[in-house]
Chain A
Amino acid sequence: MEIRRRNDHIEISELDPFLAELLRQIPASANPDGVQSAEQRLFSPPSNGKQTELCAEWRIYVEPELRRLFQTATETVAADLQQLNGNEKSFANRTLRIPAKHADAWLNALNQARLVIAAKNNFTEKELNDHFRSPIGSRRDLSLFQVNFYGFLQEFILRELES
């Protein structure tokens, strides 16, 4: 896989089918699917619990706005990922071009996905910092790899935004 900045977009080329599939999973991975810990992580309370009135109002007024914001980001990413669709049986490497103006949506969607996956799997800090865990021998290992892969993409996008 190669990732580079080209004019007004970020190009991820030489994407093998496995990594392409992981990218396709971003919108679905960002969905808490009713898992309470994931839902609570995406929509955390605005106070440490003492301000019950504030928390109640937050749920009514702020949470819907946040939901819309998060949904818009994942929809933008899902639309960009359409480039990876095509012949499902093809094992040829793919190229994905992310418009620079979509960088914030990608950062947000990648972050949603990482947080939801981590919450669903209840990853420990030690596991999350173990970037060299291999090989992928279980569903849990795969989820951890996914979190790290999405983190790598986030780092690259951040670096491009700064430059």
Chain B
Amino acid sequence: MSCGPWQDTGCQAQIKANEGIFPISNEKAGTMTTAEPTVEQETRSEDELDVPWQVVVHNDPVNLMSYVTMVFQRVFGYPREKAERHMLEVHQKGRSILWSGMRERAELYVQQLHGYLLLATLEKTC
């Protein structure tokens, strides 16, 4: 997914950590020594701690029930019965939590659901 500069943070931390293991030439001694790995202190914002995030789908009077069921099956790979259960929960209670887990994946799910024109949001688990 192209959304999210926050995705870069992990990569940069990895590159910095790797810098410490490159061999450094010791020309005077004519030997190769390996520098001690530099351990970068990882600092992460609250978001990056990745408390579970929820993918929530909200009721919409226009989208067809059969269409919503199909979307849940396609996006989450749920069997028909489970997809229908969630669809009915959305219909009757106004919302249903479809999935919870890591933020990056949750964003991807929400993006896919928006691609199918469902009302979906990302919510942080309290």
Interface of A is mostly: helix
Residues of chain B with a CB closer than 8 A to A111's CB: 63, 67, 116-117
Residues of chain A with a CB closer than 8 A to B62's CB: 114-115, 118, 123, 128, 147
Residues of chain A with a CB closer than 8 A to B116's CB: 108, 111
Asked if A107 is at the interface (CB within 8 A of a chain B CB), the reply is: yes
Residues of chain B with a CB closer than 8 A to A82's CB: none
Q: Is the CB of A47 within 8 A of B3?
A: no
List 23 interface pairs A-B (beta carbons < 8 Å), by A numbering.
Answer: A42-B117, A43-B114, A45-B121, A46-B110, A47-B123, A51-B124, A61-B2, A62-B1, A62-B2, A62-B3, A66-B111, A66-B115, A69-B115, A107-B67, A111-B116, A115-B63, A118-B61, A124-B61, A147-B62, A154-B64, A155-B64, A158-B66, A161-B70
Q: Is the CB of B122 within 8 A of A46?
A: yes
Q: How many A-B residue pairs have CB under 8 A?
A: 75
Residues of chain A with a CB closer than 8 A to B30's CB: none
Which among A54, A65, A154, A155 has the greatest number of chain B C-beta atoms within 10 A? A54
Please name the 8 residue pairs, one residue from A and one from B, whose CB atoms are nearest each other, closest first. Answer: A61-B3, A125-B61, A62-B3, A118-B62, A61-B2, A111-B117, A128-B61, A158-B66
Residues of chain B with a CB closer than 8 A to A123's CB: 61-62
Asked if A58 is at the interface (CB within 8 A of a chain B CB), the reply is: yes
A residues 50-81 near B (Cβ < 8 Å) are 51, 54, 57-58, 60-62, 65-66, 69
Q: Is the CB of A61 within 8 A of B4?
A: yes
Asked if B119 is at the interface (CB within 8 A of a chain A CB), the reply is: yes
Q: Is the CB of A151 within 8 A of B114?
A: no
Q: In the docked arrangement, what's the CA distance between A107 and B66, Å? A: 12
B residues 39-74 near A (Cβ < 8 Å) are 61-64, 66-67, 70
Residues of chain A with a CB closer than 8 A to B2's CB: 61-62, 65
Q: Is the CB of A112 within 8 A of B117?
A: yes
Asked if A44 is at the interface (CB within 8 A of a chain B CB), the reply is: yes
Q: A125-B61, A162-B70 are in contact. List 8 more A-B contacts (CB 8 A).
A: A46-B120, A48-B123, A54-B122, A57-B3, A57-B4, A61-B1, A108-B117, A147-B62
